[in-house]
Chains A and B, each alone.
Chain A
Amino acid sequence: MADLRIDFAGIKSPNPFWLASGPPTNTAGQVMRAFEAGWGGAVWKTVGEPIVNTASRYGGIDLGPQKLMGFNNIELISDRPIEDNLREIAEVKKRFPDRAVIVSLMVESRRAAWHEMVKRTEDAGCDGLELNFGCPHGMSERGMGSAVGQVPEYATMITEWVKEVAQTPVIVKLTPNVTDVARMAQAAEQGGADAISLINTLNSLMGVDLETFAPRPAVAGKSSHGGYCGPAVKPIALHMVAACAQKVKIPISGIGGIAGWKDAAEFISLGATSLQVCTAAMHYGFRIVEDMTDGLNDYLDRKGFASLGELRGRATANVRDWGDLDLNYKIIATIDSGLCIGCHLCYVACEDGAHQCIEEYPGATSEKRIPRVIEEECVGCNLCALVCPVEGCITMREVSTGKPATTWNDRMRRVQRESGVAYTPSLWGSL
């Protein structure tokens, strides 16, 4: 049994799985049920001056029969009075002293307002604070949420205000709606943040009703851009977590499309310490955490990792600039004729969408319709293997080029040595 406990900037939790700030953490009743189900922590639904929500608020995108591949919302922060929230937070903490109770805050951008809110929240007994600099809709129009998180100077400043009074660790939650998220992470770190969490939701419009032309989610025939999340955003979140992990030293709480232990392990390997989940809990309920802890445990055991610390950041260093990738590494597609079912998706994908290196009917008599990779032509792009519906049927096989590893940056450095012209990897102008 591996050790799943974490110490996140001083916040202790029996496992890394926290509910993200959102509808599942709206009330004490929900959070306590979640803790009973096994969640290690919860970030309370963002507390602030109560707001009014719309009907409807959520939109979804399905992929075939898979519901909610992507999910969005135009809901605001908590619609409940601050006192009610704080009283319930105290109650939960009392009943579950071993779990992490973090409170998400969003206050108007005045120093005194933040000071007052931080003190009141900490008085309730929470383990930490999360500053919501990320909400992309509604609140940002009022100068809060991502309006703060998109301007590094504001983010630094408000973090500083909070840190002036905070007794518990301060997490800054980042918005992905920026060009360089690592820059925002650094701004938070600079303001004294103890940790960051990301990602909040992405700006999005879920669709348009083609009969009424009401965008979704519709409110009396109209809509507004909302926050996108769920499985579809995971790759974006992974990239952003990795980018931040390379730029800041403070711990990271990974968020975005996490629904299972594998997602969690990927985030951790890219540098996350804790994980937050919203959409998956909204979709399937709190019970999903059982398999998350179970699966993560077995995975760590299988890899021989005694604790999460041994997994953390294992993949971070493998995320590199394109210019650092080996240009002499060669793989080619190989079809397992025993597994091939003859759908010819690999053929049409390569023929129309890649490099025309699959023969559809090799040997006119091919009874089983097994296509053939023209190995001399294959550029090793992966496309056929990605479209093949049979697991393990197309594998990408490494072949030796007989040449030593070399990268674009190596080449440019060589050019520089030979020509004396300076080479700066990130600037096109110098090439």
Chain B
Amino acid sequence: MGLVNIAPKLAPEGYERNFAELSPRLTSQQALTEAARCLYCFDAPCIQACPTRIDVPGFIRKISSANLKGSARLILSANVLGESCGRVCPTEVLCEGACVLNGTGAKPVEIGRLQRYAVDYALDRGLRLFERGAPNGRRVACIGAGPASLACATELAQWGYEVAIYDRQALAGGLNTYGIAAYKTRAQDSLREVKMVENLGVRFHQNVVVGRDVALAQLEKNFDAILIAVGLGETWDLTLEGEALGGVIGAMAFIERTKTLPFEQVDVGRRIAVIGAGNTAIDVVTAARRLGAEIVYLIYRRDENSMPAFAYEYELAKKDGVAFLWQTQPVRILGNNGSVSGLECVRTRTLGKGRSAHVEGVPNSQFVLEIDMVVKAVGQRPVTDFLGDMRGIEIRSGQVVVNPESHQTGNPKYFAAGDCVNGGKEVVDAVAEGMRAARGIHQSLSAKKT
């Protein structure tokens, strides 16, 4: 990476302490107590707030009645990644944000943790809750092994489809395996869910880049329908002088290292500047601090109120002792012997209100931060180039355009779901879209005469 001033390593137990689960698994006693808080609302608002419409009061009641297998079945039938979602969903703005208990001044029911508790029961015991359907002779290929594909494949396999997943990474799971903060979930947690999908007879082809190792034309020939669920790629470049210096890295590459290497092998600079203020930027700054970085700046050209990250993610970063530089824009990365040595910034001011208001530099406000590492976290770019422009699949501002009901693209053989369609949301949205796409595929293929 060309880092020169590497932060000192922690004692081995320091890493596990720093990356311990923020919200650990509930004990059965805790789960029963928490489940008892649920009012079992009718037509519950928490269900409406969940993109996958999990029957929350239903599964919580099953926890109370000691029917954990039934609880897990109810969750997974609506959302096969119910375990991950229980860990990683931004529940504050989803189900828990809608819980009626908020209206009483009490804390909402901890829906996410209960959800994880119930699914863990089934995963720990390797319970088979679903079976693949009798083969219907139809074949579907999914490009990408992330949440959207996993959800789609789970549905299709139960309906008798033969599903093959192609993914360019060594391990399946997409960002659930490679991207989400380690104190929320680890790669092996995600792989337990992948296994569930594999058990339904879905075939995974890892280390395969579609468009390079396998041609789309070939997929078209061998499959009745194709799901595009490639997610998004590395973050955009800053297009600044000095970007090629050692110690400048993209957020995705950095986070991937924290998910795939032993923590002590992930080098971080002593002083780091992270550019951007979304949830990904938060994941970077918290990881950097927890890996031992001494000073971590989060640099954003707008003000605190315009920060796109969720409020509680911001709180987390504050607790981790991150320094926030609002209304600040990097203009040049300074180097020394090929490695980063500083970041030249200007102060900015915003003309107008809101996240799209124009921002301009304040004249003569330059200053230099002495740093050893720069992480770019200014939004992920699309990875749909391989689709070309010959197939009738429309891409608009980097997002694959689909029918919102069926998730079919302009090309009737192609469907799409997940981050590559919605521009980057949450795991639970990718799952919901993947399931909708499965229904879309099923409808489309069922209508067609063989």
Residue in A65, A341, A348, A389 whose CB lies within 8 Å of B42? A348
Query: Is A82 an interface residue when CB atoms closer than 8 A count as contact?
Result: no
Query: Is B28 an interface residue when CB atoms closer than 8 A count as contact?
Result: no
A369 to B42, CA, bound (A): 11
Query: Is A295 an interface residue when CB atoms closer than 8 A count as contact?
Result: no
Residue in B33, B41, B104 whose CB lies within 8 Å of A344? B41
Contact A343 B41 (CB under 8 A): yes
Query: Is A360 an interface residue when CB atoms closer than 8 A count as contact?
Result: yes
Are A345 and B39 CB-contacts (below 8 A) given A369-B45, A390-B104? yes
A369 to B43, CA, bound (A): 10
Query: Is A286 an interface residue when CB atoms closer than 8 A count as contact?
Result: no
User: Which residue of chain B lies nearest to A344 when distances are taken between CB atoms in the complex?
Assistant: B42
Which A residues form the contact surface with B (CB < 8 A)?
64-65, 340-345, 347-348, 360, 369, 389-390
Contact A343 B42 (CB under 8 A): yes
A360 to B44, CA, bound (A): 12
Determine how close the nearest CB of chain B comes to the CB of A235; give it in whole angstroms: 22
Query: Is B64 an interface residue when CB atoms closer than 8 A count as contact?
Result: yes
Residue in A65, A348, A360 whose CB lies within 8 Å of B36? A65
When each residue 91-129 of chain B gets 1 if its CB lies under 8 Å from chain A and 0 otherwise, what string results?
Answer: 000000000111110000000000000000000000000
The 6 closest A-B pairs by CB, nearest first: A341-B103, A64-B36, A348-B42, A344-B42, A341-B100, A343-B41
User: Which residue of chain A lies nearest to B100 when distances are taken between CB atoms in the complex?
Assistant: A341
Question: For A389, what are the chain B residues with a Cβ–Cβ distance below 8 Å?
Answer: 39, 104
29 A-B pairs with CB atoms under 8 Å apart are A64-B32, A64-B64, A65-B32, A65-B33, A341-B100, A341-B101, A341-B102, A341-B103, A342-B41, A342-B100, A342-B103, A343-B41, A343-B42, A343-B100, A344-B41, A344-B42, A344-B43, A344-B44, A345-B39, A345-B40, A345-B42, A347-B43, A348-B42, A348-B43, A360-B42, A369-B45, A389-B39, A390-B103, A390-B104
Determine how close the nearest CB of chain A comes to the CB of B186; give it in whole angstroms: 31
When each residue 1-44 of chain B gets 1 if its CB lies under 8 Å from chain A and 0 otherwise, what string results?
Answer: 00000000000000000000000000000001100100111111
Determine how close the nearest CB of chain B comes to the CB of A136; give it in whole angstroms: 30
Contact B36 A343 (CB under 8 A): no
Question: For A347, what are the chain B residues with a Cβ–Cβ distance below 8 Å?
Answer: 42-43
Question: For B39, what are the chain A residues with a Cβ–Cβ distance below 8 Å?
Answer: 343, 345, 389
A390 to B101, CA, bound (A): 10
Determine how close the nearest CB of chain B comes to the CB of A375; give it in whole angstroms: 21
When each residue 177-197 of chain B gets 1 if its CB lies under 8 Å from chain A and 0 otherwise, what string results?
Answer: 000000000000000000000
Question: For B32, what are the chain A residues with a Cβ–Cβ distance below 8 Å?
Answer: 64-65
A344 to B41, CA, bound (A): 6
Are A345 and B33 CB-contacts (below 8 A) given A64-B64, A390-B104? no
Which B residues form the contact surface with A (CB < 8 A)?
32-33, 36, 39-45, 64, 100-104
User: Which residue of chain B lies nearest to A342 when distances are taken between CB atoms in the complex?
Assistant: B100
Contact A345 B64 (CB under 8 A): no
Contact A360 B43 (CB under 8 A): yes
A342 to B101, CA, bound (A): 9
Most B CB within 10 A of own CB, among A347, A360, A389: A389
Number of A-B contacts (CB under 8 A): 40
Question: For B44, what are the chain A residues with a Cβ–Cβ distance below 8 Å?
Answer: 343-344
Question: For A360, what are the chain B residues with a Cβ–Cβ distance below 8 Å?
Answer: 42-43
Determine how close the nearest CB of chain A comes to the CB of B396; give it in whole angstroms: 32
Question: For A342, what are the chain B residues with a Cβ–Cβ distance below 8 Å?
Answer: 41, 45, 100, 103
Determine how close the nearest CB of chain B comes to the CB of A109; give it in whole angstroms: 46
A423 to B52, CA, bound (A): 64
Contact A341 B104 (CB under 8 A): yes
Question: For A341, what are the chain B residues with a Cβ–Cβ distance below 8 Å?
Answer: 100-104
Question: For B103, what are the chain A residues with a Cβ–Cβ distance below 8 Å?
Answer: 340-342, 390
13 more A-B residue pairs beyond the given contacts A65-B33, A65-B36, with a C-beta to C-beta distance below 8 A: A64-B32, A64-B36, A64-B64, A340-B103, A341-B101, A341-B104, A343-B42, A345-B42, A347-B43, A348-B42, A360-B43, A369-B45, A389-B104
Question: For A390, what are the chain B residues with a Cβ–Cβ distance below 8 Å?
Answer: 103-104
Question: For B104, what are the chain A residues with a Cβ–Cβ distance below 8 Å?
Answer: 341, 389-390
Most A CB within 10 A of own CB, among B36, B40, B44, B100: B100
Contact A345 B36 (CB under 8 A): no
A360 to B41, CA, bound (A): 12
A201 to B45, CA, bound (A): 44
Question: For A65, what are the chain B residues with a Cβ–Cβ distance below 8 Å?
Answer: 32-33, 36
A219 to B40, CA, bound (A): 37
Question: For B40, what are the chain A residues with a Cβ–Cβ distance below 8 Å?
Answer: 345
A343 to B36, CA, bound (A): 15
User: Which residue of chain A lies nearest to B29 when distances are taken between CB atoms in the complex?
Assistant: A65
Determine how close the nearest CB of chain A comes to the CB of B376; give it in whole angstroms: 41
Determine how close the nearest CB of chain A comes to the CB of B425; give it in whole angstroms: 24
Determine how close the nearest CB of chain B comes to the CB of A37; give it in whole angstroms: 29
Question: For B64, what are the chain A residues with a Cβ–Cβ distance below 8 Å?
Answer: 64
Most A CB within 10 A of own CB, among B32, B33, B39, B64: B39
Question: For B45, what are the chain A residues with a Cβ–Cβ distance below 8 Å?
Answer: 342, 369
Determine how close the nearest CB of chain A comes to the CB of B210; give it in whole angstroms: 45
User: Which residue of chain A lies nearest to B66 when distances are taken between CB atoms in the complex?
Assistant: A210
Question: For B102, what are the chain A residues with a Cβ–Cβ distance below 8 Å?
Answer: 341
User: Which residue of chain B lies nearest to A347 when distances are taken between CB atoms in the complex?
Assistant: B42
Question: For B33, what are the chain A residues with a Cβ–Cβ distance below 8 Å?
Answer: 65
A345 to B44, CA, bound (A): 10
A348 to B101, CA, bound (A): 18
A340 to B45, CA, bound (A): 14
Determine how close the nearest CB of chain B comes to the CB of A314; give it in whole angstroms: 34
A342 to B41, CA, bound (A): 8
A64 to B65, CA, bound (A): 10
Question: For A344, what are the chain B residues with a Cβ–Cβ distance below 8 Å?
Answer: 41-44
A390 to B43, CA, bound (A): 18
Determine how close the nearest CB of chain B comes to the CB of A65; give it in whole angstroms: 5
Determine how close the nearest CB of chain B comes to the CB of A200; give it in whole angstroms: 31
A348 to B43, CA, bound (A): 9
User: Which residue of chain B lies nearest to A210 when distances are taken between CB atoms in the complex?
Assistant: B66
User: Which residue of chain A lies nearest to B102 when distances are taken between CB atoms in the complex?
Assistant: A341
Determine how close the nearest CB of chain A comes to the CB of B47; give it in whole angstroms: 12
User: Which residue of chain A lies nearest to B48 when distances are taken between CB atoms in the complex?
Assistant: A369
User: Which residue of chain B lies nearest to A390 when distances are taken between CB atoms in the complex?
Assistant: B104
A345 to B101, CA, bound (A): 13
A211 to B41, CA, bound (A): 32
A347 to B41, CA, bound (A): 10
Question: For B41, what are the chain A residues with a Cβ–Cβ distance below 8 Å?
Answer: 342-345
Question: For B101, what are the chain A residues with a Cβ–Cβ distance below 8 Å?
Answer: 341
A345 to B42, CA, bound (A): 6
A64 to B41, CA, bound (A): 16
A342 to B102, CA, bound (A): 11
Question: For B100, what are the chain A residues with a Cβ–Cβ distance below 8 Å?
Answer: 341-343
A390 to B39, CA, bound (A): 11
User: Which residue of chain B lies nearest to A348 when distances are taken between CB atoms in the complex?
Assistant: B42
Question: For A340, what are the chain B residues with a Cβ–Cβ distance below 8 Å?
Answer: 103
A310 to B242, CA, bound (A): 90
